[in-house]
Amino acid sequence: MTRLHLFDLDGTLIRGSAAAIEISRQLGVEREIGELERAFARGELTPGRFAELACELWEALTEAQVAAAFEQAPWLTGIREVWADIRARGERSAVISLSPGFFVERLLDWGTDAARGSRWPAVPFREPVDPTGILTPAAKVRVAGELCAEFGLSSADCVAYGDSLSDTELFATVPVSVAINADHHVRGIASYAYVGMDLREAYELVGNHR
């Protein structure tokens, strides 16, 4: 059986943090991005508006700072090993995230088959972010469908891994889901729940569905 494993990034592969937080830490604007994150969580900002405001905060962002944010993020252990095992089984993996594509796509070097993030201008920014290119929770479902078509699969062949409200719509469309260090939005609807620092342990939970 061929399957597509769909991984969220913020709060899932990165435990207790997010790409936006790690980038902002490099620029010394952690407090400001924290305020935006809380407003977004309260539903006061759309994903597009959050991105617009974040882009203003990051106007001095460099490629070196993006690289440092990526390298210093609190990643779960075992990510490369999980993706290598998925590939060895003849299955597929992908990361779908609302975070900037220029951050998310760095995970291709770790062995995932696809990495889809929001469309941002190139770093350093020479133009404002286009809010229509920013993914939403519903768009994650659309992107998952596009990846299924690309790999010759369907939503019935998918396993989703996530942690929060932005994952609920995707969880509702797949037969198997894993809540990783998750909040109440997905713990109650996931097939499995995992708390810890090793993605290999979360991945092993879906073994009975092979």
Domains of the chain, residue spans: 4-15+75-209
pLDDT of residue 165: 86
pLDDT of residue 142: 97
pLDDT confidence tier of residue 133, bands split at 50, 70 and 90: very high
pLDDT confidence tier of residue 185, bands split at 50, 70 and 90: confident
Vertex 46: Cα angle to 45 and 47 (nearest 5): 115
pLDDT of residue 41: 85
pLDDT confidence tier of residue 130, bands split at 50, 70 and 90: very high
Give the pLDDT mean for 103-121: 98
Interatomic CA distance for residues 208 and 210, integer angstroms = 6
Residues 6+ apart with CB under 8 A from 174: 6, 144, 155, 156, 158, 159, 160
What are 154-177's pLDDT values in tens digits? 999 999 999 988 999 999 999 999
CATH for the 4-15+75-209 domain, from 3.30.930.10, 1.25.40.340, 3.40.50.1000, 3.40.50.880: 3.40.50.1000
Closest among 96, 132, 135 to 116, alpha carbons compared: 96
Residue 209 has pLDDT above 70, yes or no: no
pLDDT of residue 187: 87
pTM: 0.95
End-to-end CA distance of the chain: 7
Q: How many residues does the chain have?
A: 210
Question: Where is pLDDT greater, at 57 or 209?
Answer: 57
pLDDT confidence tier of residue 122, bands split at 50, 70 and 90: very high
Interatomic CA distance for residues 189 and 192, integer angstroms = 9
Residue 97 has pLDDT above 90, yes or no: yes
Give the pLDDT mean for 78-86: 98
For residue 17, the SS3 value is coil
Residue 88 has pLDDT above 90, yes or no: yes
pLDDT of residue 104: 98
